[in-house]
Structure 1
């Protein structure tokens, strides 16, 4: 890359840029409608307005003044398994077309998981859908495992939901087989 990647937290305009990345990518590649983009905008806006910087993370990656990607950790949403206080959800993880394949996604995910580990989160979970093969490989290389699949389409794009989890035991993050 010509310019170094700079990680940052919130900066003015970053919410809109993250929403733009999601809307543009998922419309062009998956045919998602404006309803998906509106859901991203509403959810991300609500998250940033209530986030607590000590327990939640809004992380952005920049190349120059251009957003290259983002990842968030939302600690207020439990994993539904009774592990309140030790659970965070990875959300709004995306890398721009220009930065895809450059390591920006790996950098964002590594920093987000380090944040989770520093806070003692024993479970980090995310939802996605089948077909995002590069993302799935990245998740699995960081210890996530596919734990559930449903036909529920939360994205309004005709895709079913997958849930991945990364659990930490007393010896550290659980790793996927073979990693």
Structure 2
């Protein structure tokens, strides 16, 4: 089993990242069509306007298959902070350190670009992910009930500020 963190788009990667999100969150919290189309639309838009000077997109490859992803959208970093998005690993790689490898690549990128604030939006109930976020210096700054992903959850915003 060879794991590689690849920077940048690969053919088929948009569909695979959407698939990973759709299946995981459908099983976990019953997110359905609205969530899957939102992920597909926003990830596609991000890839179309991707700018190496401010954005980062990493894929976790196992034997050439996309088994995870993470992105940094830096297009509004000066105003709102850099946005960490589409962080996921496949079921078979959870708990193996794969998520740590992806977060390390993304946070190293943010540090090299001197992003003073990095934020992410998630929801309550993702204990392993929250543990990783906190390990990397993210702190919960806001929480409210919401339906932006298709089902009502306790939405959360985490931030990491440069010291």
- Give TM class, smaller chain: over 0.9
Q: Does 1:117 align with 2:116?
A: no
Give the number of the structure whose residues are more often helix, by fraction.
Answer: 2
Deviation at 1:87, TM superposition (A): 2.2
Q: Which has the higher contact order (CA 8 A, sep 6+)?
A: 2
Q: Counterpart in 2 of 1:133?
A: 127
C-alpha contact (below 8 Å) 1:30/1:157 kept by paired residues: yes
User: What's the TM-score, normalizing by structure 2?
Assistant: 0.96
Gaps of at least 5 residues in structure 1 are 170-179
Runs of 4+ in structure 1 over 6 Å off: none
Q: Counterpart in 1 of 2:89?
A: 95
Structure 2: how far apart are the matches of 1:87 and 1:121?
Answer: 7
Q: Does 1:164 align with 2:158?
A: yes
Structure 2: how far apart are the matches of 1:166 and 1:36?
Answer: 25
Structure 1: how far apart are the matches of 2:5 and 2:135?
Answer: 21
Number of residue pairs matched? 162
Deviation at 1:151, TM superposition (A): 1.2
Deviation at 1:4, TM superposition (A): 2.1
Which deviations, in whole Å up to 9, do the C-alpha atoms of 1:18-72 show, x marking residues without a partner? 0000001001111111110000000000000001012101110001022121000
Q: Counterpart in 2 of 1:21?
A: 20
Q: Counterpart in 1 of 2:70?
A: 71
Gaps of at least 5 residues in structure 2 are none
Give the number of the structure whose residues are more often strand, by fraction.
Answer: 2
Secondary structure of the residue aligned to 2:154 is coil
